[in-house]
Amino acid sequence: MTAPLRAERSESALEPWRPPTAPERLQILNRTKTVAIVGASSNPARASHFVATYLLSSSTDFTVWFVNPREKSILGHPVYATLGDLPESPDLVDVFRREAELPAVAADAVEAGARTFWAQLGLWSDDAAELAHAAGLSVVMNRCVKIEHARFAGGLHLAGFDTGVISAKRPTRLGSSGK
């Protein structure tokens, strides 16, 4: 996939933002080479750590940068204090911050030259979406980069979501034979 030209991006920014469809999310992921995780954590119990582990795995070809002013190293990689400290503009900014902070992070993503603003599962901000969309960024809300990538790449088994069994049969509950 090729990136939209600046004129195409400007025209799309004139239309109201709407959540991208599955094919549009696939297109976003296909054109993405670099991902900045804002709010990345070294705590393995945090969702951002789990997503980072996946994005660094052999399942993806992304270059991943971590952004968190309170961390120094995550999974053996340096952590940057702000998006402005990254070595180059990220293609995609993946956000793990509180909803109230999303507009500020969207403004930082625009300033950093990102192409996509992506708010993780459970996060939504109309203000952040409009801000990023008006600046020509693709915007995804309430979606997990890991789940979307794995869904399109067939790698959901890494998180245990895909049992490998396809069945319409309801599982039998232990201890409830119904007899």
Q: What confidence tens digit (pLDDT) does each residue in 122-174 have? A: 999 999 999 999 999 999 999 999 989 888 887 665 444 554 444 455 555 55
Here the tokens at position 133 are 């969309």
In tens, the pLDDT along 53-87 reads: 999 987 778 999 999 999 999 999 999 999 999 99
Above 60 in pLDDT, residue 176? no
Residue with tokens 């507009």: 103
**pLDDT over threshold 60, residue 178:** no
The residue ranking higher by pLDDT, 152 or 115, is: 115
Predicted pLDDT at 155: 61
In which residue are the tokens 């039998």 written?
Answer: 172
What is the identity of the amino acid at 176? Answer: S
Sort residue 55 into left (φ over 0), alpha (ψ -120 to 50) or beta: alpha
Percent of the chain residues topping a pLDDT of 90: 70
Average pLDDT along the chain? 85
Per-residue buried b or exposed e for 114-141, using 16+ beta carbons within 10 Å of the residue's own CB: bbbbbbbeebebeebbbbbbebbbbbbb
Q: What is the pLDDT confidence band of residue 12, given thresholds at 50, 70 and 90?
A: low
% of the chain exceeding 70 in pLDDT: 78
Nearest residue to 87 (alpha-carbon basis) of 97, 77, 101:
77
Q: Confirm if 67 and 80 have CB atoms less than 8 A apart.
A: yes
3-state secondary structure of 88: coil
Angstrom distance (rounded) from CA 91 to CA 81: 18
